[in-house]
Copies of this chain bind each other. A is one copy, B any other.
Amino acid sequence: MQTIDIEWSQTEQKVAKEAFDKAYEREIKGLMALVQEKAGAIAQLDDMWSLHDFLSAKRHEIDGKYDYRYSFLIFVFARLVKEEWLHINELEGLAQEKLAKIAALSRM
């Protein structure tokens, strides 16, 4: 993945951390509810192995997605906005340049 070397002020770091945690919490909460729903609907063996496949994919996805290194954060936030785990407004407090980059990337 490409990285962007830019500075993050202390205020921006605080905004970023809060937004990151919020998105993470939302996605995990949604995922847990979905897993419980899928588990509740298990009627045969294939359903159980489908749940296993689903968990394998999600675990891999989540592990890769929530990368809090500052050089990746612009891309991480763009993806979270695109996937609607985060609203761009929740990143208010970041420099305009960063917000513009995130917004542009989130529309790709």
Contacts and interface: CB of A to CB of B under 8 A. Distances in A.
Contact of A48 (B45, B49, B55): B55
A31 interface: yes
Interface in A59-97: 59
Number of copies: 2
Interface of A: 28, 31-32, 35-36, 38-40, 42, 45, 48-49, 51-52, 55-56, 59
A85 to B, nearest CB: 15
A40 to B, nearest CB: 6
A54 to B, nearest CB: 9
A27 to B, nearest CB: 10
Contacts of A52: 52, 55-56, 59
A8 to B, nearest CB: 26
A48 B59 CA distance: 9
Contact of A35 (B28, B51, B56): B51
Contact of A40 (B36, B48, B51, B59): B36
A30 to B, nearest CB: 12
